[in-house]
Structure 1
Amino acid sequence: MIKNWRAWVLLLLLVGPFLAYIGFGTLWLYERRWLWPAGALWVASGIVFAILAARWTKATTPLLPPLDWDAPQTFTAFDRKAWEFVENEADHGDTIALEALSDIDIYIETSRRLARKLAEHYHPLTGDPIGHVPVVEFLTAMELAAEDLNNLCHQVPGGDMLTASHWKQAVQVAGYFQKANDIYSYLLPIFSPITGLARLGTQQWMVKPAWKNMQQNLLRWFYRAFVNRLGMHLIELYSGRLAIGTDQYRRLTRKSAKTVQAIDNELATLVVAVAGARGAGKSRLIESLKQACAGDLSLVKAKLAAGGLDEALIERLRTAQFVETPGYTTNPGGESARDRATRREAVEEAVEADLMILVIDGRRDSITADVSFAQAWDRWYVEHPRLEIPPAMAVVTMVDKSDFGAAWSPPYNWGSGQRSRETAVRTRLDATRAALPPTITEVVAVGLSESSPFGIIELLLPALASLFHRAERTALIRHLHRVSTRSKASRLIAQVGQQGRSIWENLRAARGKRKAGSKTPQG
């Protein structure tokens, strides 16, 4: 005790004047009978602070930039499973001590742990799952993650000026302030029992938890943002989609979701595969679609607006490329080797498209061949999890034929109409929906009569346009996958060619400058 007398002197010099002011201030308030109002105001300010701090520092508050935990548009089903590792790692941040969140080592360790988990998910049989990653692609992932995190931090006032030492100092200063405040709260009841006890209760039960929550929310937000951005681009890295380079990846993925515009020549036109059995009416359907898209689409635009869809999808309808796949054969007596071969050929063509329309002849009693094709098409994507399954719909044709009723007199209401043709077509549509796999989300009926067609503009085009947002996402994933799976030799040749063109252009530019200089008249 005697050995530490210097510390006690320093403490008395620091706290003594403060305590004296408290005592004199309390006595002054007591003599003027303002002690109770002042104490009540003090307690009320503490309560208001606690309420506002608890409300304004929640994770969902707009004071901090929100983090997007939806799987990005380039993710496939296999990637979404990897995204769960990222979410779990971010949730782990809630259990980390506040002091540790201000230490740079926690972020380095988190990066290593997350990188290894994701690498093992994509390459479970590899002894060194990280060692096979190209250095350039790894640097691309780090660059993109740092850019995203930098943009997020700039949305926090003063976030661009914070350093790692600032975080530590802020935690330490907050700790010192809290300790001093605790000492003051414990000493105040000695000088003013009523006000002091009320303030002590408010401090311990409301103000102190709210203040701690405010500090933790800011640091935990930064930790979750770090894991979010790092995890997203590590998934893109291990999936191979960063092989296209930083600039092209930005061009293809960082666009507004509200605008439908082509940003790359290979993605400028959506490819729609029109598949079906031979004689189902694929060619006639494509012809009708092209005629309808070239004409007045005001009805389609109205239906899109009513459904809350972007009217700009109309332009995607006009520029869509409809490709007829080879027709597969049908055999009511049983499937043959020829049927399987033609179906396999049709599937190989259909999986190259961004969207699929399955054309089904409504007059046929059995649609087993169509169901088998849809299942084979679906199974192909199950066997190729790195690709996203495109949106698909089915179109029942030939409903204008006499098989469904006497006279063809559109318009029709296939959903609730009571005419004989409407009832028959509705029954066929219900049976078709029940038989097809769930990946085919829309089933519509059209009549392709030369004189009075029905269903193309009224039903098919609105349903088709509603699938284009998913088709764009499928096209993007397909493009990234195609680029990432190129052979190393072809990538090397392309890079050498690009460098050669760059050198040639520089030489031509330098030669042009020399010629221009030689023609300049001498003064």
Structure 2
Amino acid sequence: MSRWPFIVFSVLVLLPLILIAGVSGWLLWVSGNWFWLSWTITVCWTSAWLLHRFAKPVQVPLPEIGSKIHWTPRDHAAAALIEAEQKRVVDFTATQLADPQFYTTRSIELATEFAKHYHPNAKDPLGAASVVELLTTIQLVAEDLESTLRNSIPGSHLVTVSQWRMLSNAPAWWRTANNFGWLASVILNPTSLARFAVSKAFVDPLSEQLQTNILGTFYALFIRQLGFYLIELNSGRLRGGSAAYRAAMRRLEPIPVTDPDNQTTVLPDAVTVTIAVIGQVKAGKSSLVNCLLGEQRAAVDILPLTRDVTRYDLRMNEHSDRLILLDTPGYSDSGATAQQISETFEAVKNADLVLLVMDVRSPAKQADVAILDQLDTWFRERHRFKPPAIVGVVSKIDGLSPIMEWAPPYSWENPQRPKERNIRDALEFVRKTFSDRLASVVPVCSDRENGRVFGIEEYLLPTITLLLDEARACSLVRSLHREYDKQRAWQVVNQLMSVGTKIKELAPGFIKAQVSQVARNLLTNMTGKGN
């Protein structure tokens, strides 16, 4: 919309309000109540300024953007850069916040800060990003901001860039109009001079603050969008372009979506979630897998014959996620060998959820702690991958005192019996040993041969269900990187083949045109010489 239609539009909207205010003011003046009622404006505005000046500021959180369930620890640490930049809004003037060039400059500076966070030792951190990834970031930020403004702010689609810049002059316009109004009031009634002085002292700063708050809110919204996608950029999740990224993020939502057009329910795509069962030798891993599978499919009560990881599939129904259980060979309680660590690493690297099985009767947890330490180091060095949640599974609780007693269910949260108190103490020992490395700790008994099964359906399966969304996120992020790596080389080949096809199509016409041009030039030269 050009300037004149916008002015006409504004006049048509504001004219009735101005007329109502003018007629109301005239009637108040004629009735003689104007003097007293006019003080209410000054008193109320002064009270508002004092409240704003001395009241504790309230942070109004912006609505969340996207899902963060797939973020890695380094991604969560980078979120602090977003908060720090949003707090800096008080350092910027209204003129800066209304200038589009300011947003361009700050975007480049922020992109460099985020790149340094992910690549602290690089000489040119931002130089590692591809042009396609940067364009994808710009596109995603622009799409989200356009959607937010169009759907949340009435009339935002009518505002032009020049009109946006004029917002920085709004307080000056307000002061001019306000001064003319008070000048007329003082001429008609000299006692209004005191009210004018009060208004000048308190209302002008309040109007400037309101202007800064409006522009500052937009800047905070812009930084929230930009920061989110800069995190996605530096984590490598934008390498496939905006369409591939949007499709992957939609798969993070496990809740069925109703299509508003035809009122049909669209089920989310099933995801393959891998659960690795690790632990020391004879900790009860295979027995636990048997209980989860519901049948005797894993070797139990013997040392592993081989050190290969065994895979088992578990599918509830055709619409549910596919669960893959990885039964690892285990490591010794005196320390893991290089081969055992290698195989455990391979299982956990490809896992979206880890069940760390520990024999409740064995106090030796050094090998388990060492494995988790090495896994933490591995994931810190590969910040693109989200570490899977680890559930501590305290097995063989039937072996706790009193040993001869087996009378489940055991309410270890509120223990009354001796065995319940021992289960509670065992879980507390595990929590203190591993601190915050475990997402949860549950007790189980998986001795199916002797009819002693407890804690699988009561505690373990509900815990897995609660962590399933996070496990889906791990799986999708890993598959996203795998697909990008696989397509990188083939994409170049396809591009070369496409260029070759275009050249093949254009070459005959191009060669024919060039031959014709040469022939015409020769003929022209020969004709000129003949003359």
TM over 0.5: yes
**Residue in 2 that maps onto 1:135:** 131
1:177 aligns with 2:174: yes
Counterpart residue identity of residue 91, structure 1: K
Deviates more, 1:339-348 or 1:462-471: 339-348
Letter in 2 for 1:120: K
- For 1:441, the equivalent position in structure 2 comes to 439
Structure 1 CA distance for aligned equivalents of residues 364 and 44 of structure 2 = 72
Equivalences for residues 142-291 of structure 1 within 5 A? 142-154=138-150, 155-172=152-169, 174-185=171-182, 188-202=185-199, 204-205=201-202, 207-254=203-250, 259=255, 268-291=271-294
Matches of 1:402 and 1:157, distance apart in 2: 66
Work out whether residues 277 and 329 of structure 1, in 8 Å CA contact, stay in contact via their aligned partners in 2. Answer: yes
Assess if the C-alpha contact under 8 Å between 1:59 and 1:217 holds in 2.
Answer: no
2:331 aligned to which of 321, 328, 332: 328
Aligned to 1:428: 426
Q: Does 1:489 align with 2:489?
A: yes
> Structure 2 length normalisation: TM-score?
0.72
Q: Which of 106, 114, 119 in structure 2 is aligned with 1:118?
A: 114
What residue ranges of structure 1 are gaps of 5+ in the alignment?
1-21, 293-312, 501-523
Gaps of 5+ in 2: 1-21, 258-265, 296-315, 501-531
2:345 pairs with 1:342: no
2:457 aligned residue:
457
Once the two structures are TM-superposed, the CA of residue 319 in structure 1 deviates from its matched residue by 4.0
Alignment CA distance shift 1:416-1:224 (3 Å): closer
Distance 1:453 1:223 in 2: 57
SS in structure 2 at match of 1:393: strand
Give the direction of change, closer, same or farther, for the CA distance of 1:495–1:405 in structure 2 (3 Å limit).
farther
Cα RMSD between the aligned structures? 3.7
1:43 and 2:39 equivalent? Answer: yes
Percentage of matched positions with identical amino acids: 29
Q: For the structure 1 residues 256 and 272, does the alpha-carbon distance in structure 2 shift closer, same or farther, using more than 3 Å as the test?
A: closer
1:297-316 to structure 2, matched below 5 A, reads none
**Count of residues in correspondence between the two structures:** 441
Q: Distance in 1 between matches of 2:317 and 2:35?
A: 68
Q: Which of 337, 355, 358 pairs up with 1:357?
A: 355
Q: Quick one: distance in 2 between partners of 1:498 and 1:438?
A: 52
Distance 1:66 1:419, change over 3 A: closer
Q: Distance in 1 between matches of 2:267 and 2:59?
A: 33
Q: Which has the higher contact order (CA 8 A, sep 6+)?
A: 1
Deviation of 1:330 (Å): 2.7
Aligned 8 A contact 1:317 1:465 in 2: no
What letter matches 2:333 in structure 1?
Answer: T
Query: Residue 74 and residue 51 in structure 1: after superposition, are their counterparts in 2 closer, same or farther (change >3 A)?
Result: farther
| CA 1:113–1:367: 2 relative to 1, 3 Å | closer
- Structure 1 distance, partners of 2:28, 2:200, is 21
Question: 2:397·2:423 contact (CA, 8 Å) conserved in 1?
Answer: yes
What TM-score does the superposition give when structure 1 sets the normalisation length? 0.73
Residue in 1 aligned with 2:503? none
1:224-266 deviations in Å (ceiling 9; x for gaps): 222222222222222221112211101122478572799886x
Farther-moved stretch of structure 1 (360-369 vs 99-108): 360-369
Q: Is the 8 A contact 1:282 1:359 kept in 2?
A: yes
Structure 1 distance, partners of 2:319, 2:373, is 28
Summarize deviations over 1:435-478 as a string: whole Å, max 9, x none: 22421131111112322411111111122222223223322333
Q: Deviations over 1:182-210 (max 9, x none)?
A: 244356335423344225414532x3333
